[in-house]
Chain A
Amino acid sequence: AQTVTQSQPEMSVQEAETVTLSCTYDTSESDYYLFWYKQPPSRQMILVIRQEAYKQQNATENRFSVNFQKAAKSFSLKISDSQLGDAAMYFCALAEYGNKLVFGAGTILRVKS
């Protein structure tokens, strides 16, 4: 069975600094997808970044990048130049080919001004 573990319930970062959110996962499949979703307080969940398992290159979206270590089954999210609007709950999620998303427990990110 696929599992996703986020070991950091809460993280804090100073505005303009860099923060890394951790995620590990387990799957027996070789073809799968990994996602980071952001859910601001009382607001919509949005996709931040995605990574296809067959791609060795780490995905990057503006200030957001991932460190995908397939052998270690690790998928961390790095947020550079943190902004107040980055404050949210961040969920790491895994989808095997059947597209059923499995979410981690989430990490609350607080951004200090």
Chain B
Amino acid sequence: DTEVTQTPKHLVMGMTNKKSLKCEQHMGHRAMYWYKQKAKKPPELMFVYSYEKLSINESVPSRFSPECPNSSLLNLHLHALQPEDSALYLCASSQLPRGPYNEQFFGPGTRLTVL
């Protein structure tokens, strides 16, 4: 299985809602990532988990809260978002967080719209 899956595919939420994005991989990868991507722009790194521990937080606002319950799962909890947070949220994983086996495999993304 060489796949990273993400649910839901689409999400519409109001600014007062609480929702979660889910990402799953069964490749035995020990590093997982959240990216935010605006239309026709490159992905922007948000968080990195290495061996289930948060290793990088790119100064992301606290209304985004990541969680890594186990080595296969990554969640992104959303609360009190702003319309400018509307974007494609990509999850990725890599075999190890460092060293040669570090190519990242991306999921299809969750397209988030904040009203």
Binding site for B on A (CB under 8 A): 33, 35, 37, 43-47, 50, 52, 89, 91, 95, 97-101, 103-106, 108
Contact = CB atoms under 8 A, between A and B. Distances in A.
Interface of B: 31, 40-43, 45, 48, 56, 90, 94, 96-100, 102-109
B65 to A, nearest CB: 21
Contacts of A99: 31, 94, 96-99, 102
Given A35-B103, A43-B108, A44-B109, A97 B43 contact: no
A98 B41 CA distance: 23
Contact of B42 (A33, A35, A97, A106): A106
Contact of B98 (A44, A97, A101): A97
Main secondary structure of the interface of A (DSSP, over half): strand
Contact of B43 (A33, A46, A103): A103
Contacts of A105: 41-42
B107 A101 contact: no
Given A44-B106, A47-B103, A104 B98 contact: no
Contacts of B42: 91, 103-106
Contact of B107 (A35, A44, A98): A44
Residue in B45, B94, B100, B103 whose Cβ sees the most chain A Cβ within 10 Å:
B103
23 contacts: A33-B102, A37-B106, A43-B108, A45-B90, A45-B106, A47-B103, A50-B103, A52-B100, A91-B42, A91-B43, A97-B98, A97-B99, A98-B98, A99-B31, A99-B97, A99-B99, A99-B102, A100-B48, A100-B56, A101-B45, A103-B42, A105-B42, A108-B40
